Amino acid sequence: MKSCPKGVSPSLFEYVRTAILPLYDSFDKGHGRDHAEYVVDQAMTLCRYYEADPQMVFTAAAYHDTGLCEDRKTHHIVSARIIRSDRELRRWFNEEQIGIIADAAEDHRASSKNEPRTIYGKLIAESDRQIVPLTVIRRTVQYGFAHYPELDKEGHWARTLEHLKEKYAEGGYLKLWIPESENRERLKELRAIIEDRKLLRSIFEKEYAAACCSIPTKF
């Protein structure tokens, strides 16, 4: 993230850039710093359509996956806890604002059965979807390599297919909240790929090979 977004204090931007975003460098490839910066960028773009404080949107987006430092299953809850416990944020926000920011981070998870409590939560949830078909498939394969190293190639294919169908196919658990987002059209594109099993397999083969090449050689 090279430049400070409009409406965000330079001091807040610098704090997030130097103290928060580096946390993502230790996460899996699907949730690295590039993902965090993508979510920030999308959230800042979408918030222009709503009466939302850009500083709060920026902060919620930047912190939304920091809870991965503990685990995947409860990372959204941990992210909220990190926000509430970060004393540095009191330089820019009052307690009520920090609570809203924390709620937004907690509400972003795609598998949540509840609608986000505020527009901030909806903005972060929508921005986190990152529905770029090839990116979704790549992140799915990369996540499998990072968390299920015991699987062979066909095991990774089965896991990839199961995840894509469960989350993104018709009737999947993913929900979209912001009509101004491009996610709806991109989701249609992704669903078409999921239905075309031959095309999906060819994409998987390329991403699987790339993931294999990225594994450090052990001597």
Indicate if the pLDDT at residue 177 is higher than 50: yes
pTM (predicted TM-score): 0.80
Residue recorded with tokens 């204090």: 9
Give Cα 39 distance to the centre of its chain: 6
Indicate if the pLDDT at residue 45 is higher than 80: yes
**% of the chain at pLDDT higher than 90:** 80
Indicate if the pLDDT at residue 95 is higher than 50: yes
Domains, the chain, ordered by start: 10-128 (1.10.3210.10), 133-213 (no CATH)
Identity (one letter) of the amino acid at 115?
E
Indicate if the pLDDT at residue 5 is higher than 70: yes
pLDDT in tens, 119-142: 999 999 999 987 999 999 998 999
Indicate if the pLDDT at residue 112 is higher than 90: no
Write down the pLDDT at residue 134.
94
Query: Per-residue DSSP letters for 207-218?
Result: HHHHHHHTSPPP
> What one-character DSSP code corresponds to residue 134?
H
Indicate if the pLDDT at residue 110 is higher than 80: no
Tell me the average pLDDT of the chain.
92
Write down the pLDDT at residue 215.
60
Cα within 13 Å of Cα(24), Cβ side = 23
What's the whole-number mean pLDDT along residues 84-89?
98
Q: Are 82 and 63 spatial neighbours (Cβ–Cβ below 8 Å)? A: yes
Residue 218 binned pLDDT confidence (cut-offs 50, 70, 90) = very low
What's the whole-number mean pLDDT along residues 60-65?
97
Write down the pLDDT at residue 195.
96
pLDDT in tens, 187-212: 999 999 999 999 999 999 999 999 88
What is the CA angle 33-38-39, rounded to 5? 100
pLDDT in tens, 149-172: 999 999 999 999 999 999 999 999
Residue 217 binned pLDDT confidence (cut-offs 50, 70, 90) = very low
C-alpha to C-alpha distance for 211 and 63, rounded to whole angstroms: 27
Indicate if the pLDDT at residue 216 is higher than 60: no
Cβ neighbours, 10 Å, residue 115:
11
CA distances in angstroms from 107 to 53, 125, 137, 183, 185, listed in the order given = 18, 7, 24, 18, 23
